[in-house]
Amino acid sequence: MKTIIEPFKIKSIEPINFTTEREREAYLRKAYYNVFMLPAEEVLIDLLTDSGTSAMSARQWAGIMEGDEAYAGAKSFYRFEHKVRQLTGLKNIIPTHQGRAAEKILFTLVGGPGKVIPNNSHFDTTRANIEFSGARAVDLPTSEGRDPDLIADFKGNMDVPALEEFIKKTGASNIPLCMITVTNNSGGGQPVSMQNIRETKELCKKYGIPLFLDACRFAENAYFIKMRENGYSVRSVKEIVSEMFSYADGATMSAKKDAIVNMGGFLALNDDALTTKARNLLIVTEGFPTYGGLAGRDLEAIAQGLDEVLDENYLRYRLRSVEYLGERLTRAGVPILQPPGGHAIYLNAKKFLPHIPVHDYPGESLVVELYRRGGIRSVEIGSVMFGTYDENKQLVPARMELVRLAIPRRVYTQSHIDYVIEVVIEAFEHRNELTGYRITEEAPMLRHFTAKFEKK
């Protein structure tokens, strides 16, 4: 088979800034070893996130010029609304400035003390918004999904039997909705099968619980279904997406992922009464219902991006380019979460740095090293992000210690990725020189964004 090439030509470029190892060591000290605090100019290859970091197409930029900036009833809103409705089949479409704004509105309305929200795995902002409302967020991934070394097709799946047990124990009246995150970001960008979405829906229906999709990477998930699930290879991605959403009563979405834009999101709801309440809240916190915290031009770019993301040449290249990175690292013996996810490769820091105990944050140590050695910015998804403290102030570690290399959409070429491979392999060869970190300052929620560290 021939190389699967980037399905685009480069029309506009942005130079990147080269730095020396010595300079980066100084930048790290200044940032208290938290790469979120590094100015982007000090980063060579930025794999911090695939969120809002995508390159827009010429057509999206053209759409930016077409943006209708009317306060109410802008043409751009109707184009956006039409596109999202067509895609999801959901009735009421509420634009928000990003995914978490949709979550905030949703969980302000359905959350609160005593309520519990199950999910295959909650993303950090979803969990934070649920907990901020006073409700509880529960992850129910399958046992396959918990095993970082196992190669399986749909490790993002919800554990449906566990969900039923959970519903019986908790009482359906305490569960305002159930979520499925596609792809499962916190679980390694792993896809959820159509069968699993269907079975989850049937179970939810039996207990009268609405099912919501956290739809950030719906198109990547759909292409995995096309490649891996029986009976779907002959279906178009568009059809697969329609079927996925046909099981949903609502959805939250960060357009910064699979709408290939730099800002935006939406909340989509079938429930009219809930929609009225959500729009009222939207007006207080985001904006009028036909712009919801976005400019008309943003709505245009989202509508166009939602078309482009369904292009199967794009999705084939997208998933292959991530898999390529994973393949090369695996070949060199670097431990990664298997198999490669849709938007990122997750290094298994526990295995990469077995000599650094979990309470010394091996993921943080690896993140610092990739930046120091190669100017690559990654993110820890482990006990810094998800760790909590028990009543004795002892760290309750996360299930896994991962370092995510998230690949922005349409931004980096294969030679950038080859460079990343070289740096990771070099760091792996020198892994015994790395040491742990301690946290010197942290916020009570989402501490990974602002925590300060020092070397142990």
Ligand X SMILES: *Cc1c(COP(=O)(O)O)cnc(C)c1O
Under rule CB under 6 A, residue 104 binds ligand X: no
Dist CA 403 CA 348 (whole Å):
7
Q: In angstroms, what is the minimal distance from the CB of 163 to ligand X?
A: 18
Which range of residues in 196-204, 251-259, 362-370, 379-387 is near ligand X by CB under 6 A? 251-259
- ∠ CA 388-336-369 to the nearest 5 degrees? 70
Considering only the stretches 39-47, 122-130, 152-160, 241-249, report the one whose residues sit in contact with ligand X under the rule CB under 6 A. 122-130
Minimum CB distance to ligand X, residue 98 (Å): 3
Instruction: Report whether 218 contacts 241 (CB < 8 A).
Output: yes
Q: Which residues between 333 and 392 bind ligand X (CB under 6 A)?
A: none
- Which residue, 341 or 375, is less far from ligand X as judged by CB? 341
Among the candidate windows 92-100, 187-195, 348-356, 417-425, which touches ligand X by CB under 6 A?
Answer: 92-100
Residues in Cβ contact with 105 at an 8 Å cutoff, skipping those fewer than 6 apart? 94, 96, 267, 278, 281, 282, 285, 286
Nearest 5°: CA angle at 343, between 129 and 221? 80
Pick 187 or 335: Cβ nearer ligand X: 187
CB of 217 to ligand X, least distance (A): 7
Interface mask (CB under 6 A) for ligand X, residues 188-227, using x and -?
--------------------------x-x-----------
Q: How far apart are CA 381 and CA 318, in angstroms?
A: 22
For residues 409 and 55, the answer to whether their CB atoms sit within 8 Å is yes
Q: Give dist(CA 328, CA 84) in Å, integer.
A: 37
Q: What angle do CA 118, 243, 344 make, to 5 degrees?
A: 60
CB of 199 to ligand X, least distance (A): 21
Q: C-beta of 373: minimal distance to ligand X in Å? A: 27
Q: According to CB under 6 A, which one of 123, 218, 314, 453 is a site residue for ligand X?
A: 123
Q: Which stretch binds ligand X (CB under 6 A): 199-207, 250-258, 299-307, 352-360?
A: 250-258
Residue nearest to ligand X (CB): 99
Which residue's CB is nearer to ligand X, number 209 or number 213?
Answer: 213
User: Which of 123/314 has CB closer to ligand X?
Assistant: 123
Query: Tokens at residue 391, please?
Result: 């009543």
Of 1, 4, 3, 12, nearest to 411 by C-alpha is 12
CB of 40 to ligand X, least distance (A): 17
Taking phi over 0 as left and psi of -120 to 50 as alpha, with beta for the rest, 346 belongs to beta
Using CB under 6 A as the binding rule, whether residue 125 contacts ligand X is answered as yes
Query: Smallest gap, in angstroms, from Cβ of residue 220 to ligand X?
Result: 11
Q: Tell me how many degrees the CA angle 125-127-133 measures, rounded to the nearest 5.
A: 100
99 binds ligand X per the rule CB under 6 A = yes
| 49-88 residues near ligand X, rule: CB under 6 A | 51
Nearby residues of 398 by Cβ (< 8 Å), 6 or more positions away? 381, 382, 383, 385, 386, 387
Residue whose CB is less far from ligand X, 74 or 213: 213
Q: Which of 126, 129, 196, 365 binds ligand X (CB under 6 A)?
A: 126
| Residue 181 touches ligand X, criterion: CB under 6 A | yes
Q: Is 141 in the site for ligand X (CB under 6 A)?
A: no
The whole-angstrom separation of Cα 119 and Cα 129 is: 14
Q: Which is nearer to ligand X, 265 or 363 (CB)?
A: 265
Our finding on whether 127 is near ligand X (CB under 6 A) is: no
Q: Is 326 in the site for ligand X (CB under 6 A)?
A: no
The footprint of ligand X on this chain (CB under 6 A) covers a number of residues equal to 15
CB of residue 71 to ligand X, shortest distance in Å: 23
Instruction: Decide if residue 185 touches ligand X (CB under 6 A).
Output: yes
d(CA 137, CA 130): 6
Nearer of residues 213 and 376 to ligand X, judged by Cβ: 213
Smallest separation, CB 126 to ligand X (Å):
5
Of the pair 213, 310, the CB lying nearest ligand X is at 213
Told to check if 298 binds ligand X by CB under 6 A, we report no
Binding site for ligand X (CB under 6 A): 51, 98-100, 123, 125-126, 181, 185, 214, 216, 254, 256-257, 265
